[in-house]
Structure 1
Amino acid sequence: MDQAPGSPQEPQDAQELPGCYRHPDRQTGIRCVRCERPICPACMVSASVGFQCPDCVRGGSGTGHAPGANQPRTVAGGTVTADPRLITKVLIGLCLAAFVVQQTAGDMFAFRFEMLGHAFVPGMSEPQGVAEGQWYRLLTAMFLHGGFFHLGFNMLSLWWIGGPLEAALGRARYLALYVVSGLAGSALTYLLADPAEQSLGASGAIFGLIGATGILMRRLNFDLRPLVAMLVINLIFTFTPSFNIAWQAHIGGLVGGLVVGYAMVHAPRERRALVQFGACAVVLVAVLVTVVVRTGQLT
């Protein structure tokens, strides 16, 4: 906003703050998470993530909307939907269904689809693993779990972390973040873990969601301390030998989530989709290179 003559004493950062779209004389650093117009404290309406302007809360019935405000968007540019947790529910449903199949079909089902680099598996005549061309394990391992406690803890974490993040990103961006983070975790496991070590679980993807949540909270100026405390506690469990956790999946997922999450939240509006999905492509290329290099070492 232009500085009026005769007021040179105002600090530089105040000069750069825009005025509220309803009260232009009130400078603010907060924007509506749907239409991205600046809003002052008097106009803020609390949402599941961030704040909305009164017009968006009323469903766009007001006047003077900024371009694109007729189709409300999330803070990352996704479409606002009636059920902002649908993808989270679907992911939880897939994990629950896979667990039921595990319990019904027995251990051989998990042996066939869990993360495995290269090993001779009992009951199978040929060696198994990603090195044998079974790349699908990088993905399918994200939906399998080692027991009721493992499943319950991960699904509660997915609901608590994933639900609000899906509402903030939108369905397509949230699903891309989840899958890419999970694949990054599987790829790092393949690269660094013993090739005969079996790994399964959604926690790599969930760590990616935690990383992206931190990026989002930082942008919205939320208090990061609770999230940091939760992350530290989870990392302590991750590196505690008695828990027998594949730390590579957690770290890989976290790094992937930070990279993609930063692109999702901070992409410039004019080329938002290109930057966001371009970042996903970059991480996927890194996953591909990692898998090819490691396969060359094992074969």
Structure 2
Amino acid sequence: MEDQATGSARDAHSLPMCYRHQDRETGVRCTRCERPICPECMVSASVGFQCPDCVRGATPGVSGPPPADTRPRTIAGGTVAADPRLLTKILIGVNLAVFLVQIAVGWTFTGDFELFGRIGTEGVAEGQYYRLLTAMFLHDPQNYMHIVFNMLSLWWIGGPLEAALGRARYLALYFVSGLAGSALTYLLVAPTGASLGASGAIFGLFGATAVLIRRLNYDMRPIIALLVINLIFTFHGGIAWQAHIGGLVAGVVTGYAMVHAPRERRNLIQYGTCALVLLLTLVITVVRTAQLG
């Protein structure tokens, strides 16, 4: 049973370009200078968002980098990075590296480390819980399109989302979504079933992207259409729908906490939500293991 995600889409409506990134459309403007700013350039202010230049200029006469509390921040409160896609590149690299190992070693490697192993749910039920994590980095070595679609989706969706959230929050979202997808699959799949792939985590990124687009008042139709298309493939393509739905729900919940948390309690709400989703994942895993004896 395969676990795949596909494609991405762009807003068809004409929007101004970010003044610092001329290839990025945005519907948000700095509340001080009114220049258009993309999520990477947004710095949370008491009212709306400011651009990095206005934030730096708020303390005249001070040279060097701005104070810690006025550094340019993403919409979720993360630090603006020089390479906003670094973690996405690393995740793609890890997936590709593991895939090459799978090709070189064959199904012996995959059988030992995939989500449920080649004997159904017995591996996890016997205490090999690491498979809930390692399955996120494994793909069918006999189906190249599996990893191709997943990695293209990760690049198209993950890169902009990493820039909008910041590295730490993006990584937390990715793993929380992936583990939630693995746990729901473990709970609902037949004992003889098996699943592997990064799609649970990628569907979490889809869900968080939808929340972010809604938060920025962008046109929701492209992302909704994309999700509908992916869900159609999920339920009509012999794919592990449990991982997709689990990742999507976790991504929406976690993404909402990431972009809507009030500034004064941002870290508590954001990472507290991640902890609650992980706790629910643990409960699901324990319940399923008890069912299987």
TM-score where L is the length of structure 1: 0.79
> Does the aligned pair in 2 maintain the 1:181–1:208 contact within 8 Å?
yes
Deviations 1:248-291 (A, max 9, x none): 00000000001100000101100100100000000001000000
Change over 3 Å in CA distance of 1:266–1:283 after alignment to 2: same
Q: Please report how far the alpha carbon of residue 63 of structure 1 lies from its aligned counterpart in structure 2 after TM superposition.
A: 2.7
| DSSP 3-state at the match of 1:46 | coil
Deviations 1:90-135 (A, max 9, x none): 100010001000000110111111111x8637xxxxx842101010
Give the alignment partner of residue 156 of structure 1, picking from 142, 146, 152: 152
After superposition, residues 1-299 of structure 1 pair within 5 angstroms as 32=30, 38-39=31-32, 43-47=34-38, 56-58=51-53, 60-63=55-58, 70-116=70-116, 120=119, 128-146=122-140, 147-240=143-236, 243-299=237-293
Q: Distance in 2 between matches of 1:289 and 1:211?
A: 22
Q: Distance in 2 between matches of 1:277 and 1:230?
A: 28
| DSSP 3-state at the match of 2:70 | coil
Q: Which amino acid aligns with 1:227?
A: I
Q: Distance in 1 between matches of 2:49 and 2:238?
A: 50
> Does the aligned pair in 2 maintain the 1:43–1:54 contact within 8 Å?
no
Q: Distance in 2 between matches of 1:128 and 1:105?
A: 23
Q: Which amino acid aligns with 1:266?
A: H
The structure showing larger relative contact order (alpha-carbon pairs under 8 Å, at least 6 residues apart) is 2
Q: Please report how far the alpha carbon of residue 76 of structure 1 lies from its aligned counterpart in structure 2 after TM superposition.
A: 0.2
The sequence identity of aligned pairs, in percent, is 63
Change over 3 Å in CA distance of 1:54–1:132 after alignment to 2: closer
Q: Which amino acid aligns with 2:119?
A: F
Q: Distance in 1 between matches of 2:97 and 2:59?
A: 48
Count of equivalent residues: 256
Q: Distance in 2 between matches of 1:194 and 1:187?
A: 13
> Does the aligned pair in 2 maintain the 1:44–1:54 contact within 8 Å?
no
Q: Which amino acid aligns with 2:172?
A: A
List runs of 5+ in structure 2 lacking aligned partners: 1-26, 61-65
Q: Please report how far the alpha carbon of residue 43 of structure 1 lies from its aligned counterpart in structure 2 after TM superposition.
A: 1.4
Q: Distance in 2 between matches of 1:251 and 1:172?
A: 24
Q: Please report how far the alpha carbon of residue 57 of structure 1 lies from its aligned counterpart in structure 2 after TM superposition.
A: 4.3
Name whichever of 67-76 and 176-185 sits farther off. Answer: 67-76
Q: Which amino acid aligns with 2:77?
A: G
Q: Distance in 2 between matches of 1:49 and 1:229?
A: 25
| DSSP 3-state at the match of 2:168 | helix
Deviations 1:202-259 (A, max 9, x none): 111000000000111101000010000000000000000xx32000000000000011
Q: Distance in 1 between matches of 2:74 and 2:267?
A: 13
> Does the aligned pair in 2 maintain the 1:145–1:201 contact within 8 Å?
yes
Q: Distance in 2 between matches of 1:290 and 1:224?
A: 32
> Does the aligned pair in 1 maintain the 2:42–2:50 contact within 8 Å?
no
> Does the aligned pair in 1 maintain the 2:183–2:284 contact within 8 Å?
yes
> Does the aligned pair in 2 maintain the 1:180–1:284 contact within 8 Å?
yes
> Which consecutive segments of 4 or more residues in structure 1 shift more than 4 A?
29-32, 48-55, 64-69
Q: Which amino acid aligns with 1:157?
A: S
Larger Rg: 1
Deviations 1:59-90 (A, max 9, x none): 85423699966311100000111000011011
Q: Distance in 2 between matches of 1:175 and 1:64?
A: 32
Deviations 1:10-30 (A, max 9, x none): xxxxxxxxxxxxxxxxxxx95
